[in-house]
Amino acid sequence: MAPGLQAELKQKTPFTSRQQEAYLALLRTADALQSSMESKLKEFGLTGTQYNALRILRGAGPEGLPCSEIGERMITHDPDITRLLNRLEQRGLVERIRDQHDRRVIYGKITTAGQKLLREMQEPIEKYGKEMLRHVSQPELQKLIDLLELVRCGRKV
Amino acid sequence: MAPGLQAELKQKTPFTSRQQEAYLALLRTADALQSSMESKLKEFGLTGTQYNALRILRGAGPEGLPCSEIGERMITHDPDITRLLNRLEQRGLVERIRDQHDRRVIYGKITTAGQKLLREMQEPIEKYGKEMLRHVSQPELQKLIDLLELVRCGRKV
DNA sequence: CGAGATTAGTCGTCACGACAAGTACTTGTC
DNA sequence: GACAAGTACTTGTCGTGACGACTAATCTCG
């Protein structure tokens, strides 16, 4: 049994199952990486959620994307797109466009200011992401990716 | 290159690095498992944070724990213990005790009602956690745990 | 002893997520 | 054409996280 996580948590009782140990390790590791990345993103005045949304909109091209589509593509599904777009719109990074055919639909679209910001961030952020995992070898990364996909795809809905 | 996560995210551009792919896979997998567990915890009227805090306090024994200690042991470090304890205290699941010697320190302590709730939850919650990962073999779980620990312990602070 | 630094916790504010209720619009059916 | 059902988004509320200002108590050092 690996004593690492138990020591971190200072738990006196051992894990009741390997599954629970993996679950906790997963949450803590994701939180550690995410917190680290959030602090880096803060230098550019964006939160992780905002950066994620901007990248999705940039990838969507000039037509933009309906709010519902944005929500589905976010790392964390079903966030509150309305208010997320509000904040980004106030800062001039995205704009809203109402669909001409179906007037219920509102498209979010990245502005040139938003694209400029993303361009400036790209190199340092990608470098930072690589740095966070620089001590993990390529084969280990691949193994981790495969295992995570196994966990995710076959999980209980 | 495993196409799985790319397909999920509907991203047109490939990952710029294996590190980035691993990072995103980690966040999405953790979110999926956590969301699933949160929905189960909701049946008992607790959020994940509250359940986590209660378990920490139960593990701490009858003396309880100072707020700062609770914060350090949480899965997500440094949450707002004051208001978390407020909500749990309102529901009678924990109580606060001021340290006699150092009157700055306040101990959080689980009540009998809190212990009773945890006892009722334990069996179904543990079962649910195992179910979530039932399709992952024991050696795979162990490999995943080891890889996660590698990622976590050597990461950039 | 007493001023200043430190520590533990509290509180205000903002940004998320989750959920539920509400509104505007479209579609299916008659 | 009109009404019911469904869809897409908006809004209100609650529970976190993140940050920072603030208070109370303790410690350090002259």
Q: In terms of residue numbers, what domain contains A83?
A: 31-128
Which strand (E) or helix (H) includes residue B66? strand B65-66
Examine residue B21 and state whether it is found in any structural domain, yes or no. Answer: no
Beta carbons of B8 and A56 less than 8 angstroms apart: no
User: CB of residue B89 closer than 7 A to nucleic acid strand C?
Assistant: no
A94, β-bridge pairs = A110
pLDDT band at B136 (very low <50, low <70, confident <90, very high): very high
Amino acid residing at A84: L
Examine residue B10 and state whether it is found in any structural domain, yes or no. Answer: no
Nearest residue of B to residue A135, measured between CA atoms: B154
For B27, the closest of A9, A25, A30 (CB atoms) is: A30
A6–chain B Cβ distance below 8 A for any pair: no
Compute the average pLDDT of residues A32-42.
Answer: 90
| pLDDT > 60? residue A9 | no
A101 phi and psi angles, rounded to 5 deg: -85, -50
Show the tokens assigned to A52.
């994620």
Q: What is the pLDDT of residue B143?
A: 96
User: CB of residue B90 closer than 7 A to nucleic acid strand D?
Assistant: no
- Contact residues, chain B, for A1 at CB < 8 Å: none
| Residue A76: exposure state from Cβ atoms within 10 A (0-12, 13-18, ≥19) | middle
Q: What is the pLDDT of residue A154?
A: 65
A22–B145 CB contact, under 8 Å: yes
Tens of pLDDT along B16-65?
789 999 999 999 999 889 988 988 999 999 999 999 999 999 998 888 89
Examine residue B157 and state whether it is found in any structural domain, yes or no. Answer: no
Examine residue B43 and state whether it is found in any structural domain, yes or no. Answer: yes
Examine residue A53 and state whether it is found in any structural domain, yes or no. Answer: yes
Tens of pLDDT along A82-121?
999 999 999 999 999 988 888 889 999 999 999 999 999 9
Q: Which residue has the higher pLDDT, B64 or B156?
A: B64
| pLDDT > 60? residue A21 | yes
A95 phi and psi angles, rounded to 5 deg: -135, 160
| Closest nucleotide to the alpha carbon of A47, via C1' | C15
Beta carbons of A148 and B25 less than 8 angstroms apart: yes
Q: What is the pLDDT of residue A2?
A: 43
B145–A36 CB contact, under 8 Å: no
Nearest residue of A to residue B15, measured between CA atoms: A126
Examine residue A47 and state whether it is found in any structural domain, yes or no. Answer: yes
Examine residue B55 and state whether it is found in any structural domain, yes or no. Answer: yes
| pLDDT > 50? residue A132 | yes
| Closest nucleotide to the alpha carbon of B76, via C1' | D17
pLDDT band at A146 (very low <50, low <70, confident <90, very high): very high
Beta carbons of B47 and B38 less than 8 angstroms apart: yes
Examine residue B148 and state whether it is found in any structural domain, yes or no. Answer: yes
Q: What is the pLDDT of residue B19?
A: 92
B148–A34 CB contact, under 8 Å: no
Looking at residue A109, which CATH number applies to its domain? 1.10.10.10
B38–chain A Cβ distance below 8 A for any pair: no
For A151, the closest of B23, B29, B37 (CB atoms) is: B29
Provide the domain count of chain B: 1
| pLDDT > 60? residue A12 | no
Q: How far apart are CA A90 and CA A20, in angstroms?
A: 43
